[in-house]
């Protein structure tokens, strides 16, 4: 009986991890509500007060066509990845002084990870990967 438990236990761990990831994206979508007033994402997304966020990860800061970035943002040399985004979203003005982004930040690491999971779903054309 105990050997059966040892064989089944990893299956429960794998199943639970798949559920947790789905929950992270859903939690990230709820967190994205804080961004929605200024940013769009998905097919047909447009620049608003802030640039659209399609294909954010791997993109150079200040590179969305048709958006008027601040010079500090354009000249930051940042290429967005998970670590840089996490640092930035905690305190945008600390990461890029004099940026136009007026957002107090998200300080909770779990919420940042969830938001990252949500944003990473979208390719540069706004299609879900």
In a domain, 25, yes or no: yes
In a domain, 30, yes or no: yes
As for how many domains the chain has, the answer is 1
Range of the domain at 11: 2-119
- For 24-56, give one letter per residue: b (16+ CB within 10 A) or e: bbebbbebbebbeebbbbeeebeeeebbbbbbb
Token output for 93: 């003005």
In a domain, 67, yes or no: yes
In a domain, 81, yes or no: yes
Which pLDDT tens digit goes with each residue over 15-47? 444 444 445 999 999 999 999 999 999 999 999
In a domain, 95, yes or no: yes
In a domain, 125, yes or no: no
Residue 11: the pLDDT is: 43
Report the interhelical angle of 109-119 vs 82-90 (nearest 10°): 130
**Domain of residue 21, CATH code:** 1.10.760.10
The average pLDDT across 83-98 equals 97
In a domain, 52, yes or no: yes
Distance CA 90, CA 104 (A): 8
In a domain, 129, yes or no: no
The average pLDDT across 105-120 equals 97
pTM across the whole model: 0.81
Q: Which residue has the higher pLDDT, 84 or 9?
A: 84
């Amino acid at each position: 009986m105990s050997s059966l438990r040892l064989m089944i236990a990893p299956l429960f761990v794998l199943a639970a991890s798949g559920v947790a990831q789905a929950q992270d994206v859903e939690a990230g979508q709820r967190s994205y509500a804080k961004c929605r007033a200024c940013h769009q994402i998905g097919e047909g997304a447009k620049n608003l007060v802030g640039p659209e966020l399609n294909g954010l990860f791997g993109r150079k800061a200040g590179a969305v066509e048709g958006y008027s970035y601040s010079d500090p943002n354009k000249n930051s040399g940042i290429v967005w990845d998970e670590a840089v985004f996490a640092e930035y979203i905690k305190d945008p003005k600390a990461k890029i002084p004099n940026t136009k982004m007026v957002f107090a930040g998200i300080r909770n690491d779990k919420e940042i990870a969830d938001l990252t999971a949500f944003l990473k779903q979208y390719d540069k054309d706004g299609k879900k990967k």
